[in-house]
Amino acid sequence: MSVFLGIDIGTSGTKTLAVRADGTSLGSASAEYPLLTPRPGWSEQEPRHWADAAVQTVRQLVNDGAFDPSEVKGIGLSGQMHGSVFLDANHEVIRPALLWNDQRTAAQCEAITEAAGGREELIRMVANPALTGFTAPKILWLRDEEPDRFAQLKTVLLPKDYVRWTLTGVLETEVSDASGTLLLDVRNRRWSDELIGKLDLDGGLLPPVHESAEATAELTPKAAEAMGLPAGIPVVCGAGDQAAGAVGNGIVRTGVVSAALGTSGVVFAHSDAPQIDPEGRAHTFCHAVPGKWHVMGVVLSAAGSLQWFRNRLCMDLGDSAFDRITHRAEEVPPGCEGVYFLPYLSGERTPHADPHARGAWVGMNLRTDRAALGRAVLEGVTYAMRDSLEIIKDLNVPIGEVRLSGGGAKSPFWRQMQADIYHEPCAITNAAEGPAYGAAILAMVGAGAHASVEAACDATISVTDRIAPDERAAATYDALYPAYGKLYEALKPHFAAAAE
């Protein structure tokens, strides 16, 4: 029987998953690597660590006997979006990659907007406003701040595409990940020559762009030997982690929306046509499904806020801290007696696009204890996710079901809270492996095991649980939600002053 590998190059580590064509998981392996923070607001990694981790995790599965290497018929790649890998003429890395959560490029974002002729013109060209996390501002930062290195620059790759280069010797990307560079004409699924020209960049810096499930490269003998696999295995173009995660959760038809609560939180809605927010609050990118798009909102510190709460204020709770925090939070009534938490610990993307936003508890009183603070964190993150859902509704993208995934889907308490705060029916699927699973599904399609991405999802993904909103709790949250939105506007001047 055929085996397909999905390799997801994440921020904290790489995960490789082996699956059959029917979706049966044969095993997974992970490898971690460090995050570099040379200055406040800077976030970098060494690309070589990603490539080494990809080889290491595949080799581990082979050594564990998870499958017969001769059965591997396709490999799919997924990865953290927006990161910039700068290569010279010899395809050597010039400097550590700037990552999606790097905030150093505010001046370059302003320059891009001005060069485009204003925010509206920029959105017309590439469907999105300039944000510090995107790739294009990072290229301009290199030009502005490290001109000697920029003079060496010949190719810019995204993280997963650098790994593909090391495995196949092919320089390329695909539409879902390329959408997050701010250099893709998202409507027409090709590089925006118009914006590239206005920024005075060389279009030759960017690799060819394909659809996600296309098999355009093969595993080289050198990479195959290192992994313990046969040479020549097809490697599909893959997808950015959010599009791959959506495929892995079956978000491939209109009406099905994903709410993924990981370190960051993402609300992802499939769309048959490009639905562009004229205010630029949410992102409109190409989907990994050929000829389709998606609308996406991003909360930068979602489950990451809960992790911060555990690490900073609940150190005494030990290894079971997450379970104990949520258990205590259940004892606090919905709304936390007026205590709100703003989860902007690393700035925010949707809907505020504000790198200076900061986290805050508001409304504490003499009764407020650690249980209430913990519940407020969970509610605040979920309110932030609802912000994206409301934008999607404003764009007339239908919502019939919200599929929950990530760490926030593992807790029954947080699952119910999401259904209540979203005030939408929610569901859990049998697919819990995230972007790596979606990358493997794309590999199935590229290798011909399934006729389409939709057919592959139909064959491998099913709903295992449904969560209806508790109408009483939902009514409470509906009444409290508007005040949550007003808190950011009230505190915004203080955030800016603190940043200065």
Check: CB of residue 438 under 8 Å from CB of residue 245: yes
Q: Name the one residue in this structure whose structure tokens are 């923070």.
A: 37
Could you give the angle at the alpha carbon of 431 between the alpha carbons of 290 and 241, nearest 5°?
A: 50
Check: CB of residue 477 under 8 Å from CB of residue 420: yes
Residues 229, 232, 237, 242, Cα dihedral to 10°: -10
CA gap 118, 95 in Å, rounded? 31
Residue 448 dihedral angles phi and psi, to the nearest 5°: 90, 10
Residue 65 identity (one-letter amino acid): G
CA gap 345, 261 in Å, rounded? 15
Check: CB of residue 181 under 8 Å from CB of residue 159: no
Return binding residues for substrate. 81-82
CA gap 492, 126 in Å, rounded? 28
241 is catalytic: yes
Check: CB of residue 254 under 8 Å from CB of residue 275: no
Radius of gyration of the chain (CA): 22
- Cβ neighbours of 319 (radius 10 Å): 7
Dmax over CA atoms of the chain, in Å, equals: 67
Question: For residue 121, what are the contacts with CB-CB under 8 A and spacing of at least 6?
Answer: none
CA gap 140, 285 in Å, rounded? 22
- Cβ neighbours of 475 (radius 10 Å): 14
Active-site pick, 241, 277, 387, 420: 241
Structure tokens, 260? 């993924």
What SS3 state is found at 196?
helix
- 330: alpha, beta or left, given left = phi > 0 and alpha = psi -120 to 50? alpha
What residue ranges in 343-434 does DSSP mark as E strands? 360-362, 399-406, 426-429
- Residues belonging to the active site: 241
